[in-house]
Structure 1
Amino acid sequence: MKNQLLTFIVCLFCLSCATNPFTGKKTMAFMPNTQLLPMAFAEYDKFLSEHKVIKGTPDAEMITRVGQRISVSAERWLDANNHQGYLKDYKWEYNLVDDKAVNAWCMPGGKIVFYTGILPIAKNEAAIAAIMGHEVAHALANHGQQRMSAGMIQQGVGVGVAMATKDKSASEQNMWMQAFAVGSSVGGMLPFSRAHETEADQIGLYLTAIAGYDPDEASLLWERMKANSGGKSPPEFLSTHPSNDSRIANLRALAAKAKEEARKFGVTSFR
């Protein structure tokens, strides 16, 4: 039974891999977009119905303007790299929601929300573009789909561990299950998540620059984010995100590469 479960997981992994054009990597995709996107769109509509959406203000118009520019830059990059039609099922939408949380997100399929709480830290449109690019990049690189697939694998392997230790005492089985939970999280899921954040920083910065926004603003934004947090954060190996200092250093290093990428599209000056 254990071998059958392992064989099933391996086969599922092999049959469900796809190459992502933004990263060039094979990615897990146990749930196809034909199922995932309708679910995401429904959840997005439900979220909007339960929150105060701000319309017609300069800030709301800025969110839409920046979002449209980032989505156009993604389309330009994909077309230039022979990936026409990759976004055919996307239904872009950009909304500003009245909420003090310092947050923004993009669901699979291009459904974006900015919370008003992040605007004072962003301070300017170029920083909004850096945030927008990062969140859109998560969707473009199918990070949500991959995390869902990884969670399914983690759950499946957990069942295997439980089956393999079912003849042991309750305390010993519990010890094995706890060891698996910690090991799979610290050694697997958390590094997986941090890698996604770093990928989204790079992809997002390229999109930001192609859209004509200054990529140097991204590291300055994260300096402000660090200050806003009071410098408090868990150790990086226990976090879903890179540390603030790691992220700032990485964004500084990536800015020149993002400008170089933008020049391929005729963009030589930045807002």
Structure 2
Amino acid sequence: MAVLLLLAGLGGSKLWAQGPPFQVDDPVPVDFKHYEFYIFGATDGTPAETDYTGPAFEFNWGAVPRVQLHAILPFGGIRPSNNPIYFPSGEGSSATGLVDMEFGVKLAMIKETKTIPQIGTFTMLEIPTGNSDKGLGVGKVWYRLPVWLQKNEGKWLFDGGAGETVVPQTGFHDFPYGGFLLKREMNKKLEIAAEVFAHGGEGPVTPQAQASTMIDAGGYWHLKGEDTMQLLFAYGHSVAGRTENYAYLGLYWTWGKDDKKPDDKDADEKKTSLLKNAMFSGHSLKNGF
């Protein structure tokens, strides 16, 4: 994890931040008075069980400067293998329905400079809205507590960090996670990226009962303009630890309006008034501006 944190500090122009479709997140909140919305599906599977999410709906809001509020309403399901080799992991019946909802706050703590990466936190609370008796939820509130770093260098972006997941439930236990991501802007329509992501064992009753290290690759295809609508995609597979597959496919929208300073508005109105007067009077605008 220490190596990953150091790599994240390498590296200015600003590219779009991470998060979906990748497992590594970022420390960059949504701009103030701006919004993000995702519709997506994802899957994470091991030989013991395959869990999937979809349809799921994510909403992010730049509520105040340098602070983002975050929520996910997810539907999904589980497909246990019922292979006795992995018991008690992967034991039981298949099920679908609402799974645990997610709420979070992303806070930008240190701004990026030429020599310092941006640093921030993205604390998340997982609310037990899924039916834990069917395996669709944990049954108690649980938490993700990471620190993320990001550095831009021309068309390249470096992102990484680590955190701890806290799960106060029988059959589960706390575990660390972290990763490092590298992204490049290919053109105005396409960005591609790859990440290394690792997590510890999540507990004896979970599909990820053992630690796993994965390599994921994917990208962003800009469907409208340069940023307002994108297709997000990623796929990854374990390279160490328990065999694990990860995939994500989603659509992303962003919108918002920057406030125009009153002084700027007044200046524009003054220029317009002077221009109209000059057109009718024939006077020079040189001193008016």
Q: TM-score range by the shorter chain?
A: under 0.3
Q: Indicate the structure with greater helix content.
A: 1
| TM-score calculated relative to the size of structure 2 | 0.24
Q: Indicate the structure with greater strand content.
A: 2
| TM-score calculated relative to the size of structure 1 | 0.25
Larger radius of gyration: 2
